[in-house]
A and B are shown apart, each in its own frame.
Chain A
Amino acid sequence: MRGQAGLRETLLLCGAALPARHQEMLGRGWRRRLPALALVAAAVALYAFGLVVLDISPARIAGGAGRLFDIARLMLPPDPQSWARAQLYLGALGQTLAIAFLGTLGAAVLGCPFGFLAARNVVANRLLHLLARRSLDTVRSIDTLIWALIWINVVGLGPFAGALAIMTSDFAALGKLTSEAIEAADPKPVDGVLSVGGSRLHAVRFGILPQVLPVFASQILYFFESNTRSATIIGIVGAGGIGLQLSEQIRVLEWQQVSFLILMVLITVAVIDSLSQRLRTAIIGRRG
């Protein structure tokens, strides 16, 4: 009879022979771990190098943390100090939302055709497809804030420049995502449309578009969410919205107003997130 105790005794009898027998399972050996270890060592070394180059030391962190603590204490409680200021901030918040909405809508209108152009299964011309993709990548790798600085030179300071900046940087990101969604689309509906004598345009309209549209719609909603965040900072360079007030109040060290503004942004973003979540499930649920 070999119960639990029997097994235990057998194992103990084996002693050192057991690990030796299953060496490849127990110890994987230094040789096989070496590449991973080298990678980790390189990452740590780069990290240490970064700390030195960027002049980050515990003393500096500790000193700043003390000041940060003071600032945090000065921030409480959040207080706009007067009703007129609160109204001003509410107006700026509305402007931020308007910038985000306009930017997203413009990006969607521009990004959709570019997405089709950059998709391999729609545009057969390799050169055109490559060109579209590269230009989207170039536009995408420049941050929204830099686009805002450029647009300010064109249309002047104000929220309009902000909306244009968000539109420019997001249409590239949306175009890329759309092109990926289009390339991932099932080719069978396209074959079906073509087989009954539809033109290529028909194939795109009835074969691909219905598959891509829900993905596209939910992407747009995601972008609207993230754009409300971007729109809050775009004012820092003078392109309208609540960021202008925020950077102004930080500059004059009015911490209570700063925390009030941040609180407003947090609440707005939370509301928009939950709204767009609902809308997204409505869209995907209806199609699915």
Chain B
Amino acid sequence: MTRLVRVPSDEQLAPLLCAYREAAAAKRRQLLLGGGLVGIALALSAVGAEVQPATLWNKIGNFTSYFDRLLTLDSGARVWTDPHEWFWGLARWSRLLGETALIAYVATTTGAAVAIIAAAPASRNLMRHAWVRFVVRRSLEFCRTVPDIVFALIFVAAFGLGALAGVLAMTLHTAGTLGKLFTEVAENIDMRPVEGIASTGGSWLAQVRFGAMPQVLSNLASYILLRFEINVRGATVIGIVGAGGIGEDLIVAIRKFFYSDVSAILLMIVATVMLIDMLSARVRHRLLATETQR
């Protein structure tokens, strides 16, 4: 005669089950609390941002019809039936897009140079004086936090309308963001080569150049390329405040309801941004490959 024996018995199991239920309940409570907090924040911000779901619902037709209008020429025909008419400003817009890319390029390289110079005195292992670190870090933080468009607004007042204000604004912002990343990279390096150079009597500059630089170069390059991609996007809108590039033409077209122009310019922006993204992604992957080979 066999008898089913449950191991562990119910009495042994009881505290475990109890603990399990307790843990599950605690997790559920946490989830409810978090959900409640998010809900309250949602309600508050919905009031703050004047959200009108009804307006959105009523006017969502505007959104689709807006794209419909974007794809219609003045004559009423669809845009793709007459590409020549659609892209009537191709030469001008191409030039402006080239200018936009140049703004991004000049700003990224200058900003990166500033960031490299600033990263060494901002990192804990390469700069021993705490007050220098503090000053450099706070200034980088300032450049990073103020959006480039705000810098551009102020610089337009100082330097006049044109690309110079845009380049300077983006340079400052880029220096701030890249400076932080470079500082983190510099703080994670292997200190032994640096110490080796220090032990043979190398100067601080030689330590940075021959001890730290070779370790971080590919990392820096890929961060710079990433920033370049972001800056190309940023440069397309910096013209909205009058700081050069294609943004000025775009905002004029949007404000004056030149629908087919808007779609043509947007398409060209998207194509340029995607092309640059693709190229830079390819270079970045190759950089990563050389990094793993080492």
**B248 contacts the other chain (Cβ, under 8 Å)?**
no
Q: List chain A residues, Cβ under 8 A from B164.
A: 54-56, 60-61, 64
A160 touches B42 (CB 8 A): no
Residues on the A chain within 8 Å of B234, using CB: 143
For residue A284, CB closer than 8 A to chain B, the reply is no
Interface string of B38-55 (1 = CB under 8 A from A): 100110111111111001
* Chain A residues whose CB sits within 8 angstroms of the CB of B59 once the complex forms: 154-155
Closest residue to B232 on the A side, CB-wise? A141
By a CB distance below 8 angstroms, the chain A residues around B154 are 68, 71, 250, 258
Task: Tell whether, in the assembled complex, residue A232 and residue B150 are in contact, meaning their CB atoms are under 8 Å apart.
Answer: yes
Q: Which of A18-26, A95-103, A112-120 lies at the interface with chain B?
A: A95-103
Is chain B's interface secondary structure helix, strand, loop, or mixed overall?
helix
Report B174-195 CB contacts with A as 1/0, cut-off 8 Å: 0000000000000000000000
Q: Distance (Å) between the CB of B103 and the closest chain A CB?
A: 7
CA distance A163 to B45 in the complex (A): 10
Decide: A233 near B251, CB < 8 A? Known: A98-B45, A258-B154: no
Contacts of B254 in A (CB 8 A): 149-150, 153
Closest to B229 in A: A141
Distance of A47 Cα from B99 Cα, bound (Å)? 12
Q: In the complex, A154 Cα to B66 Cα: how many Å?
A: 8
**A145 partner residues in chain B, CB cutoff 8 A:** 149, 237, 240
Residue A262 interfacial (CB < 8 Å): yes
Contact A158 B163 (CB under 8 A): no
Q: Which residue of B47, B49, B102, B233 contacts A53 across the interface (Cβ within 8 Å)?
A: B102
Q: How far is the CA of A53 from the CA of B106 in the complex (A)?
A: 11
A247 contact from B63, B153, B160, B168, Cβ within 8 A? B153
Q: A232–B45 contact, CB under 8 A?
A: no
Given A54-B103, A64-B155, CB of A233 within 8 Å of CB of B150 = yes
**Chain B's nearest CB lies how many Å from the CB of A33?**
15
Contact A98 B270 (CB under 8 A): no
Q: Mark B141-156, 1 if CB is under 8 A from A, else 0.
A: 0100111011001110
Q: How far is the CB of B43 from chain A (nearest CB, A)?
A: 10
Asked whether any CB of chain A lies closer than 8 Å to the CB of B241, the reply is yes
Say yes or no: A229 contacts B147, CB within 8 Å.
Answer: yes
Q: B62 in the interface, Cβ–Cβ < 8 Å? A: yes
Interface string of A144-188 (1 = CB under 8 A from B): 011001110111101110111000000000000000000000000
Q: Does A265 contact B (CB under 8 A)?
A: yes
CB-defined contacts of A246 to chain B, threshold 8 Å: 150, 153
Partner of B266, one of A105, A146, A160: A146
A residues 73-119 near B (Cβ < 8 Å) are 94-95, 97-99, 101-102, 105
- State A267–B48 Cα separation when bound (angstroms): 20
Complex Cα spacing A125 to B252, Å:
42
Contacts of A47 in B (CB 8 A): 105-106, 109
In the complex, the answer to whether B153 meets A154 with C-beta atoms within 8 Å is no
Given contacts A95-B49, A143-B237, A159-B50, A262 and B150 within 8 Å (CB-CB) = yes
Tell whether, in the assembled complex, residue A50 and residue B46 are in contact, meaning their CB atoms are under 8 Å apart. Answer: no
Q: Which chain B residue lies CB-closest to A262?
A: B146
**Complex: how many Å from CA A37 to CA B164?**
29
B244 interfacial contact with A, CB 8 Å: yes
The answer for the CA separation of A141 and B97 in the assembled complex, in Å, is 14
Query: Contact at A71–B99, with CB atoms within 8 Å?
Result: no
User: CB of A269 within 8 A of chain B?
Assistant: yes
Measured in the bound complex, the distance between the Cα atoms of B105 and A247 in whole Å is: 26
Query: Is B60 in contact with chain A by the CB < 8 A criterion?
Result: yes
Cross-chain contact A236 with B240 (CB below 8 angstroms): yes
Shortest distance in angstroms between A191's beta carbon and chain B's nearest beta carbon? 26
Q: Once the chains bind, are B102 and A54 in contact (CB under 8 Å)?
A: yes
> Is the Cβ of A99 less than 8 Å from the Cβ of B49?
yes
Complex-state Cα separation, A266 to B150, whole angstroms:
12
Distance A13 CA – B250 CA, assembled complex (angstroms)? 72
Across the interface, do B153 and A54 meet the contact criterion of CB distance under 8 Å?
no
Contact B149 A233 (CB under 8 A): yes
List chain B residues, Cβ under 8 A from A159.
48-50
Q: Which residues of A contact B105 (CB under 8 A)?
A: 46-47, 50
Q: Are A154 and B270 in contact (CB under 8 A)?
A: no
Contact of B50 among A55, A67, A160 (CB under 8 A): A160
Complex CA gap A65/B159 in Å reads 8
A interface residues with partner B (beta carbon < 8 Å) = 43, 46-47, 49-51, 53-56, 60-61, 63-65, 67-68, 71, 94-95, 97-99, 101-102, 105, 137-138, 141-143, 145-146, 149-151, 153-156, 158-160, 162-164, 229-230, 232-233, 236-237, 240, 246-247, 250, 253, 258, 262, 265-266, 269-270
22 A-B pairs within 8 Å (CB atoms) are namely A43-B109, A46-B105, A51-B106, A54-B103, A54-B106, A54-B162, A56-B106, A56-B167, A64-B168, A65-B158, A67-B158, A97-B45, A101-B45, A141-B233, A146-B266, A149-B254, A155-B52, A163-B51, A229-B145, A232-B147, A236-B241, A250-B154
Extra 20 A-B pairs, beta carbons < 8 Å, given A60-B164, A67-B159, A98-B49: A54-B164, A54-B244, A55-B162, A63-B159, A64-B160, A71-B154, A97-B45, A101-B42, A143-B236, A151-B63, A153-B254, A155-B55, A155-B56, A159-B50, A160-B55, A163-B49, A247-B241, A262-B146, A265-B146, A266-B146
